[in-house]
Amino acid sequence: MKFDWITNTVFNLRTLFQNDPNVFVAGDLLWYPVEGDNKICKAPDVMVAFGRPKHHRGSYQQWLEDNIAPQVVFEIRSPSNKDAEMETKFRFYQDYQVEEYYLYDPNKGQLKGWLRGTDQLHSIVPMHKWKSPRLGIRFEQVEKELYLYYPDGRRFTTHEEEAKRAETEAKRAETEAKRAEAEAKRAEAAEAKLNRLKTLLEQQGISLNDDIFANDK
């Protein structure tokens, strides 16, 4: 469940910013905020860095990224994540200037969010129908189910839904291609029939065009 949430969120956020070359979205990528200290690091389940190019990275070394910290971070909690671990992550994001932090536990249906004020992260209440200032996406929770929506109102899709959509589009394109091919064959057959008729009439000394013109008179 956690893996699906991570991959689906990364996929949809990359889709959202696909036309912006300077928004970097990654999943489970180590982030090193301090040069020279590789012990200070975390790998957010999902992170978004505005002002950074999309190219592949083995890790996010902040001093090589114009010292820009990821502004938005998501964590998807699983049963194996202990409270102490989540508290450590929160302090890390607090200390290293994350602007928006979202924590979702799909097993319990619990959603929490924090937004940076002047000096620290403050809890967002309520989270239902919250709109991310940075991302423009909307959070909606129906009972224990969380749904994310694009700025234009479309719901985030899953890989399964996207695969079905692509399959439907492929079938539609195939049907359209077959229809166009059949139409072309019908037109070709009609033209061949007309040419045969012209040939037969000409063999009898009748010009099809002349005969049409004579009838018009």
Residue 161, CB half-sphere, CA atoms under 13 Å: how many? 8
pLDDT given at position 209: 65
pLDDT given at position 38: 95
Is the alpha carbon torsion for 150, 151, 152, 153 positive or negative? positive
Query: One digit per residue, pLDDT tens: the chain, 217 residues?
Result: 789 999 999 999 999 999 999 999 999 999 999 999 999 999 999 999 999 999 999 999 999 999 999 999 999 999 999 999 999 999 999 999 999 999 999 999 999 999 999 889 999 999 999 999 999 999 999 988 999 999 999 999 987 777 677 676 777 777 788 888 888 888 888 888 888 888 888 888 887 665 554 555 4
- The sheet carrying 46-50 orders its strands as 23-27, 46-50, 72-76, 100-105, 110-116, 121-123
pLDDT given at position 22: 98
Given a contact cutoff of 8 angstroms between Cβ atoms, the answer to whether 101 and 93 are in contact is: yes
Given a contact cutoff of 8 angstroms between Cβ atoms, the answer to whether 105 and 77 are in contact is: yes
**Strand, coil or helix: 166:** helix
- Whether the ω angle into residue 151 lies within 30 degrees of 0, i.e. cis, is no
- Unique residue bearing structure tokens 């009972």: 143
pLDDT given at position 177: 81
Residue 212 exposed, middle or buried by CB count within 10 Å (0-12, 13-18, 19+): exposed
Counting runs of H as helices and runs of E as strands, what totals does the chain give?
Answer: 4, 10
Q: Which of 63, 23, 68, 69 is nearest to 42 (CA)?
A: 69
pLDDT given at position 213: 45
Alpha helices in 17-158 (DSSP H): 83-95
Beta strands at 72-76 and 100-105: parallel, antiparallel or unpaired = parallel
Domain boundaries, the chain: 2-156, 162-216
The residue count of the chain comes to 217
Start-to-end CA span in the chain (Å)? 80
Give the CATH fold of the 2-156 domain: tt1808, chain A (3.90.1570)
Residue 27, CB half-sphere, CA atoms under 13 Å: how many? 14
CA distance 21 to 100: 21
DSSP of 30-55: -EE-STT-TTS-B--SEEEEETS---
